[in-house]
């Protein structure tokens, strides 16, 4: 048996797809049409944030080309990237793919191996305005006109408020799954409905899935996976669930999405006027308040403060947002004997750890536990994968862990987690139809035929067995009968 | 066309579930099957080192039995140690 290589989970492509914190947003935007982008790019804030979300190379090329009146040409891109002039058009296309997907550039074939990319007028105009401070769409928010002596909350207060509101929702999700019962306030009904629609929580007593009892909802495996994501990913996922729910109600989502980007460009500690900044998305803004994205001094006031959850949305650089709470997030020491020391007193983090760690000792600022088979396997039964546990452990590793030679997590533990994961599904089951042959000729013909039709599951030549997909049974039977007749009449 | 051997081009078709697994797990399955009698036997065909074919109605039962068997072979540390 070939031993699989576990220690480099990064090398397998499936794990790298979800690495970007804006993966949920990207997936949403990739499915939108030209007209949707035209509407989005009316807002300067959207143009700026979309530019920031691009990978560095296309981002630089777009910026270089911003003030030009000519369409971008492939030869220019090639010389800018110092590529060989003979480089195939597909390669250049691949590099610029993110910009093409966002409809910033439109592909246009000029002649063989030459291409023009005219840029989207709305985007060009929006980005120029964003950089020069022109434009009239107020997409960066309109400051609230308040009295000079009015008291405003400090940045720390806003951060604490946002953190508390969002963690409250996460805590509620964890506690529903564990039944450890720390006193958590139930989030508002709208929040719970969204959690239900997005499939993060379900009501197990509700068979149809239509009329959930919001008080009896428990977390799903998708919900557990959500908990292990980093904050930025969680925020974008929630926003995208919100947006999809809006679309399901056949409401227009472009304005709401452009509001998300506007919030992302706002400044922490500054107050804005709701009615002037987002005249068309006031109800959506109210909904966001429930997740802690904005803070309002009183429920119906026109004044609002974006919290750090909102202002960090579009920073474009994931590391920058992490640094804010980096010290708090890096609290885990994992030893090669599977012991875990967590220097934290955060209830949410402890509850999450409790999902897959056997917690032995709790001090006010330290939790000691052990990764053991029983707890890890019960976590895996809830739908958490080994890769998620590993990425959680490494993203929360204590600075001390970096002092030992890499890799950060000891291979023993990483491999063991993967082995526990493997153990659950050692059997791969698939429905099949077995064909047993006596004639080698007929066997080989049928094998070729079923291979050509992608119907073959397994072929065992020395016993003359063929295993085919059940839905292709009728077609293969016809083929075999026809072939039988030909062979028999051959005598 | 018939001969002394019967039809040389006859083909036998059987429906079931193809199980792909490592050879250790397969040996456990063979063992489980050998413990059973008559209609309770689940194996249709022992295909090769890493494949066997079983009856569809036993799929869930087999999965559980295998897990139980694997669980027996796992060392669990005495919590009092």
CB within 8 Å of chain B, chain A residues 359-378: 372-374
Average pLDDT over every residue of A433-449 = 87
Distance from CA of B9 to the nearest CA of A (A): 6
What residues of A are in contact with residue B1 (Cβ under 8 Å)? 488, 491
Distance from CA of B37 to the nearest CA of A (A): 23
At the top level of CATH, the class of A16-132 is mainly alpha
CB atoms within 10 A of CB B30: 12
Cβ distance B66 to A426 less than 8 Å, yes or no, reads yes
What residues of B are in contact with residue A423 (Cβ under 8 Å)? 70
Give the single-character DSSP code of A429.
Answer: E
The region, left, alpha or beta by phi > 0 then psi within -120 to 50, assigned to residue A34 is alpha
Structure tokens at A319: 């590391």
Phi, psi of A335 (to 5 degrees): -95, 165
Confidence of residue A325 (pLDDT cuts 50, 70, 90): low
- pLDDT tens figures, A234-293: 888 888 888 888 888 777 788 888 888 888 888 887 888 888 888 777 888 888 888 888
Q: What is the largest CA-CA distance in chain B?
A: 75
- pLDDT tens figures, A340-389: 999 988 888 888 888 889 889 999 889 999 988 888 888 888 778 888 88
Is the minimum CB–CB distance between A442 and chain B shorter than 8 Å? yes
User: What spatial distance separates the first Cα and last Cα of chain B, rounded to whole Å?
Assistant: 75
Domains belonging to chain B, first-starting first, are 17-72 (3.30.70.1220)
Confidence of residue A491 (pLDDT cuts 50, 70, 90): low
Distance CA A318, CA A113 (A): 37
- pLDDT tens figures, A50-64: 888 888 888 888 888
CA-based nearest residue in chain B for residue A466? B13
Q: CATH topology of A16-132 equal to that of A433-489?
A: no
Partners of residue A423 on adjacent β-strands: none
Cβ distance B53 to A467 less than 8 Å, yes or no, reads yes
Q: Over the Cα atoms of chain A, what is R_g?
A: 28
Q: Which residues of chain B have pLDDT under 70?
A: 1-6, 79-81
Between chain A and chain B, how many beta carbons pairs sit less than 8 Å apart?
95
Nearest to A434 among B10, B19, B45 (CB): B45
**Yes or no: is domain A433-489 CATH 3.30.530.20?**
no
> SS3 for A149?
coil
- pLDDT tens figures, A280-307: 778 888 888 888 888 888 777 788 888 8
Structure tokens at A45: 């804030």
What residues of B are in contact with residue A430 (Cβ under 8 Å)? 17-18, 20
Where along chain A do its domains lie? 16-132, 155-316, 325-424, 433-489
Does the structure's ipTM exceed the value 0.85? Answer: no
The region, left, alpha or beta by phi > 0 then psi within -120 to 50, assigned to residue A448 is alpha
């Amino acid at each position: 048996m070939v031993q699989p290589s576990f220690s480099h989970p990064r090398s397998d492509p499936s794990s790298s797809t979800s690495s970007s914190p804006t993966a949920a947003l990207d997936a949403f935007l990739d499915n939108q049409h030209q007209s949707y982008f035209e509407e989005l790019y009316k807002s300067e804030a959207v143009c700026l944030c979309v530019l920031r979300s691009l990978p560095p190379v296309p981002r630089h090329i777009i910026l270089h080309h911003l003030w030009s009146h000519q369409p971008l040409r492939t030869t220019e891109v090639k010389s800018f990237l110092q590529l060989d002039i003979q480089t195939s058009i597909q390669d250049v296309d691949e590099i610029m793919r993110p910009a093409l997907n966002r409809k910033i550039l439109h592909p246009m074939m000029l002649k063989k191996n030459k291409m023009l990319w005219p840029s989207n007028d709305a985007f060009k105009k929006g980005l120029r305005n964003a950089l020069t401070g022109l434009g009239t769409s107020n997409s960066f928010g309109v400051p609230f006109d308040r009295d000079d002596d009015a008291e405003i909350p400090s940045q720390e207060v806003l951060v604490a408020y946002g953190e508390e509101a969002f963690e409250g929702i996460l805590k509620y999700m964890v506690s529903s799954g564990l039944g450890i019962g720390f006193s958590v306030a139930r989030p508002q009904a709208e929040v719970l409905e969204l959690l239900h629609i997005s499939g993060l929580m379900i009501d197990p007593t509700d068979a149809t899935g239509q009329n959930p009892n919001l008080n009896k909802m428990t977390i799903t495996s998708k919900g557990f996976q959500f908990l292990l994501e980093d904050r930025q990913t969680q925020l974008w996922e929630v926003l995208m669930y919100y947006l999809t729910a809006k679309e399901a109600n056949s409401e227009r989502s472009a304005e709401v999405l452009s509001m998300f980007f506007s919030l992302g460009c706002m400044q922490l500690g500054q107050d804005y006027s709701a009615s002037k900044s987002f005249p068309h998305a006031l109800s959506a803004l109210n909904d966001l308040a429930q997740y802690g994205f904005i803070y309002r001094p009183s429920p119906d006031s026109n004044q609002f403060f974006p919290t750090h959850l909102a202002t960090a949305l579009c920073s474009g650089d994931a590391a920058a947002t992490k640094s804010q709470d980096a010290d708090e997030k890096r609290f885990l020491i994992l030893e090669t004997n599977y012991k875990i020391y967590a220097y934290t007193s955060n209830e949410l983090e402890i509850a999450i750890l409790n999902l897959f760690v056997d917690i032995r000792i709790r001090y006010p600022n330290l939790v000691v536990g052990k990764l053991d088979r029983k707890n890890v396997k019960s976590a895996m039964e809830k739908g958490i994968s080994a890769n998620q546990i590993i990425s959680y452990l490494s993203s929360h590793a204590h600075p001390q862990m970096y002092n030992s030679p890499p890799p950060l997590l000891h291979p023993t533990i990483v491999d063991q987690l993967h082995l526990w994961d493997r153990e659950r599904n050692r059997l791969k089951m698939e429905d099949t139809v077995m064909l047993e042959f006596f004639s080698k000729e007929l066997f080989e013909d049928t094998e070729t035929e079923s291979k050509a039709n992608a119907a073959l599951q397994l072929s065992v030549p020395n016993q003359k067995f063929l295993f085919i997909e059940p839905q292709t049974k009728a077609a293969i039977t016809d083929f075999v009968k026809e072939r039988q007749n030909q062979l028999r009449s051959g005598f | 066309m018939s001969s002394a051997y019967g039809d040389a081009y006859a083909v036998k078709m059987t429906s079931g579930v193809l199980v792909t697994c490592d050879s250790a797990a397969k040996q456990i399955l063979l063992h489980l099957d050998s413990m059973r009698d008559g209609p309770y036997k689940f194996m249709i065909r022992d295909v090769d080192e890493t494949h066997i074919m079983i009856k569809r109605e036993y799929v869930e039962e087999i999965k559980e039995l295998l897990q139980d068997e694997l669980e027996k072979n796992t060392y669990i540390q005495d919590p009092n140690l």
